[in-house]
Amino acid sequence: VLGLVKSASRQLGAHGIRVNCVSPYVVATPMALAVSGKSMEEVENIYAANMSLEGVALKARHVADAVLFLASSDSDLVTGHDLLVDGGYRNKS
């Protein structure tokens, strides 16, 4: 996906089209809960321990906010970007 985003952003930029992606960490969705067999709080606690931002659990609204930012005029000059929404997970690991 990242390669596609980079390639498409180069090709479509000439037409004023921005191409970006959002890469979230684990979100305690109904599917994640069903797979793990754990409660929302348990799933959030397990994955929050791996993030460098302490006391914060990644929620679906955080991912939605990232998508809304990239879709808004606030990101007019952003293209070919992978927006990490992971509470610093990649920095910590």
- Domain coordinates in residue numbering, the chain: 2-82
Distance CA 84, CA 91 (A): 11
**Per-residue pLDDT, 93:** 59
**Per-residue pLDDT, 91:** 82
**Per-residue pLDDT, 53:** 85
Distance CA 41, CA 93 (A): 22
Instruction: Render pLDDT for 14-70 as a digit per residue (tens, 0 to 9).
Output: 999 999 999 999 898 999 899 999 999 998 888 888 888 888 889 999 999 999 999
The pTM of the whole model exceeds 0.75: yes
Distance CA 66, CA 27 (A): 14
